[in-house]
Structure 1
Amino acid sequence: MDTLINRQGQVSFGVFPTSPKNINYLDFDLRNNMDKAINGFRKKMRFNQFQFIGLTGDDLILGVAIVNLKWVSNCFLYIYQPSTQTFTEYSWLKPFALNTQTDTQPNNGSWSFKSGHNHISITSLEHLRQLKISCGNELNVDVSINETQSPLDVCCRAGYNGWVYTQKNTALPFTGHIQWRGQDINTQDLLASVDWSCGYMRRETFWHWASLSHKTQNGDTVGFNLAAGVNETSYTENALWINSEMIKLDRAEFIFDRSNRMAPWQIKTSDGHIDLTFTPAGERKEKINAGLIASNFTQVFGRFNGSVKNLQGETISISNATGFCEDHFAKW
């Protein structure tokens, strides 16, 4: 499909066999709860976008995100090495999304964020997504992610008036280099995940989320994207990839302790494909309460243990696989 919004200003909902080429959000017939049209500046400023890329392996976890909320933009990144328990974190905010560029083409276009000497860019062209990070002499990343594997593309209603489109992909191979604190990181066993999302989201929303990209001891490549909360109006954004074959999943359940998010999480899907325990090793959290905008964000990284099932019902064991979970409340 070429665009997400049709000539009548209506959005297409569902799980798509191919990605839309352009999220033409300004063509959407946005209205308030009393059917009055919202146009111009207010319409533009209500549209939110974010993109997250994860690089994970047995001894490395790297997460980076660019978030554009129009009134403010945010970029965060962190890198963690389990064997040495070494951790580095960065986070920046820019009012009115200064020095922030985002794009409306999921499989093409450029995103970037700059703060001082720190620069992050994500450039995509068809089946290749390039991530570059330059943070002085501390961290330099230049990798190209292979996205020939079919992603999950889904668009759901968000509240009475809005919608959220998202594209997810996990367990993706990539090439390139990572240099951290003057040392070259071995990227041979690492895999990538990509989360590209946008929309007219609920004024107040939340989500629980989990992502895995892993190669098992038996040589199977396994990845999944699971969420509860934001995208569950008629459809879900849950999918499992086994050796590049995508299995669409039903609803996901996250059981964890909000008073101690570093305690183990239990994660399952109602169709029985996922049954895992997640044990956090570290966290990246941030609380912002600025009146019109608020965020209670915790992303934990650690290890999954348990099992997944393929379409034939065969069990694949997951042992000490690195990945992410997230608990997030947002008002925007």
Structure 2
Amino acid sequence: MPALPRLIDASGQPCYGLFPDGVEEINYLDFDLRTVMDKPRSQLARRFGANQFQFISLLSSELIVGVAIVDLKLVSSAFVYLFDPHTRRFDEFSFLQPLARGTTFDSRPGSGRAVFEKGRNRITVDAAGEAGVRQLLVELADGTRIDARIDEGASQQPLSICTRAGYTGWVFTRKTAARVCTGSVSWRGQQFDLRQLGALAAVDWTTGFMRRETFWNWGSLSCRLPDGRRLGFNLAAGVNETGFTENGIWLDDQPIKVDMVDFQFDRAKPLAPWQLRSADGQIDLRFQPVGTRQEKLNALLLASNFKQHFGQYHGELRVAGETLTLDGAWGLVEDHYARW
């Protein structure tokens, strides 16, 4: 079946549910946004009420990379981090732009473009240039450069979902994991070839009118099994759980839906192990954090307490009639509170 052309229909209402064939455009400005007392909101309120972000991870046993562009309209931000699992070397770069200056974020999750610029630092995510490819280009003032091509050919089947958020809002998200990527990373005078590393990518593209105060826990994996198959997952709790969930596994290019997931961890001990278990028994994992990218912001209207841990997964996934064992596969978990 063809992809849904637009998320918001002619009456100004979003289409809710899972979209196996995707959604071409998230036309959020056409949404009939109203107050909790059913009064229509203005075009300006729609423009500044929607949040958009895109996060990309590149994972291997020799290099871990995380890159994000966040457009909150009143402010935009971006971050880049790199971690070497062998040397434990870690670098992080964070940027803010008032009123989202130097930031563009297209409304097409599968074929759009996002750009963040500040000074001599530029991050571009481009899925519009070459069919079946999402290009990530990071050029930082200190010389760090990431040039990655992520395979988004016809074989991929993203998890695309739209759910209600609070009384008046909604969130659309499109997730992929364990995608083949090629290219290079230049960092601190060292060159990394992503193909030689066997690096795999995950992409999170999200837009919506989110709850004023929200939180989520999240887990992501992109790895290769001993037999060479690619394994990835996207797991979350606290967001996108109204009627549908964004939880899924990819075994090579086959998507497998997962039920609700419970995250057990001690927020006061950030490097203590996490436990992740799904209600349907497909997920039974322990995650051991090794390092953290974190940020705390409390600025009147906006606030964020963000912790993204990189580390190793151990345990079992019971999928498609077989049990898959993880013994130290590198991945991510996240604990995030936001007021926006």
TM-score of Structure 1 vs Structure 2, range by shorter chain? over 0.9
Q: In the alignment, is residue 98 of structure 1 matched against residue 101 of structure 2?
A: yes
In structure 1, the partner of 2:304 is 295
2:290 aligned to which of 269, 276, 281:
281
Partner of 1:204: 213
Given the alignment of the two structures, is residue 134 of structure 1 paired with residue 143 of structure 2, yes or no? no
Q: What corresponds to 1:195 in structure 2? A: 204
Query: Between the two proteins, what is the percent identity of the paired residues?
Result: 47
1:146 alignment partner AA:
D
Alignment of 1:1-332 (within 5 A): 1-125=4-128, 126-148=131-153, 149-187=156-194, 188=196, 189-312=198-321, 314-332=322-340
Provide the rounded CA distance (Å) in 2 between the counterparts of 1:294 and 1:136. 27
Query: Residue 43 of structure 1: SS of its match in structure 2?
Result: helix
Is 265-274 or 136-145 further displaced after alignment? 136-145
Distance in 2, matches of 1:54 and 1:34, equals 41
Does the CA-based 8 Å contact 1:128-1:145 persist in structure 2?
A: yes
Alpha-carbon distance between aligned partners in 2 of 1:112 and 1:309, rounded to the nearest angstrom: 39
Q: 1:211 is paired with a residue of what secondary structure?
A: strand
Counterpart amino acid of 2:200?
Answer: L
Which residue identity does 1:158 align to in structure 2?
A
1:214–1:321 contact (8 Å) kept in structure 2:
yes
Shift of 1:141: 1.0
Kept in 1: contact 2:136–2:149 (CA 8 A): yes
Is 2:182–2:193's contact at 8 Å kept on the other side of the alignment? no
1:14 Cα deviation (Å)?
Answer: 0.3
Unaligned runs of 5+ in 1: none
Verify the 8 A CA contact 1:24 1:104 in the aligned structure 2: yes
Provide the aligned length of Structure 1 versus Structure 2.
331
Q: TM-score, normalised by structure 2?
A: 0.96
Q: State the AA in 2 paired with 1:287.
A: K
Unaligned runs of 5+ in 2: none
Residues 137, 182 of structure 1: 8 Å contact kept: no
Query: Residue type matched to 1:321 in 2?
Result: A
Is the CA contact (8 Å cut-off) linking 1:107 and 1:127 kept in structure 2? Answer: no
Aligned-residue offset at 1:218: 2.4
TM-score, structure 1 normalization: 0.98
| Structure 1 range deviating more: 178-187 or 295-304 | 178-187
The amino acid across from 1:184 in the alignment is: Q
Q: CA deviation at 1:220?
A: 2.2
Superposition CA RMSD, Å = 0.9
Deviant stretches of 4+, over 6 Å: none
CA apart distance, 1:138: 3.4
